[in-house]
């Protein structure tokens, strides 16, 4: 995987998501309110798959690890597609809580957003090292990539659970 591809995708994904997020919404012909629940489920599934993949590599089950990581990547791509579909047709939901929980929500949300931007190049770089057979460098990148990816997956579920009463 070429460095230019990694950086182009890493820049384009958050820019396109931001453009869609702030653009006028189109009128969907069906009710999209189920999508946040679906992509929260995808985030939860991603966290489970990442945990299983971590366990597999610790047990030296390389083929299983590889399959699980491809599954985690596929889940993340499906999440991104559904997220874009939802936010291109639905207005953002405002968090309705107050007090300390409101601040907790915004800290989790902000960290989730920032790290979801950072995780794109990290995943692509880590994947490219594995695909090139450079497993020592892959492991070094994975030591950073895996926990951040796990945090993004889990914090996505937390954000959904915190805002879901306001949908």
CATH code assigned at 127: 1.20.120.80
d(CA 117, CA 148): 11
Confirm whether 14 is domain-assigned. no
Please count the structural domains in the chain.
1
- What per-residue confidence (pLDDT) applies to 120? 96
Give the structural domain span for 60: 32-166
Q: Per-residue confidence at 91, pLDDT binned at 50, 70, 90? A: confident
| pLDDT tens, position by position, 105-139 | 999 999 999 999 999 999 999 999 999 999 999 99
Contact yes or no for 89/25 (Cβ under 8 A): yes
Confirm whether 72 is domain-assigned. yes
pLDDT above 90: percentage of residues in the chain? 78
Confirm whether 74 is domain-assigned. yes
Confirm whether 26 is domain-assigned. no
d(CA 82, CA 39): 7
Confirm whether 123 is domain-assigned. yes
Is 0.85 topped by the overall pTM? yes
Which has more confidence, 91 or 46? 46
| pLDDT tens, position by position, 150-165 | 999 999 999 999 999 9
Confirm whether 160 is domain-assigned. yes
The C-alpha angle 140, 127, 141, rounded to 5 degrees, equals: 15
Residue 28, pLDDT > 80, answer no
d(CA 121, CA 8): 9
Confirm whether 15 is domain-assigned. no
């Amino acid at each position: 995987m070429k460095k230019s591809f990694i950086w182009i995708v890493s820049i384009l994904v958050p820019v396109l998501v931001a453009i869609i997020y702030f653009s006028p919404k189109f009128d969907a012909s069906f009710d999209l309110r189920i999508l946040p629940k679906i992509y929260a489920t995808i985030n939860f599934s991603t966290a489970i798959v990442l945990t299983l993949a971590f366990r597999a590599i610790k047990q030296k089950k390389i083929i299983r690890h590889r399959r699980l990581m491809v599954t985690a990547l596929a889940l993340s791509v499906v999440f991104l597609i559904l997220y874009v579909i939802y936010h291109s047709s639905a207005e953002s939901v405002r968090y309705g809580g107050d007090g300390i929980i409101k601040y907790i929500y915004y800290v989790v949300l902000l960290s989730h957003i920032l790290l979801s931007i950072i995780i794109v190049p990290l995943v692509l770089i880590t994947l490219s090292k594995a695909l090139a057979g450079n497993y020592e460098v892959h492991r070094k990148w994975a030591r950073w990539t895996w926990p951040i990816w796990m945090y993004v997956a889990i914090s996505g579920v937390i954000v959904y659970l915190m805002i879901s009463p306001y949908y």
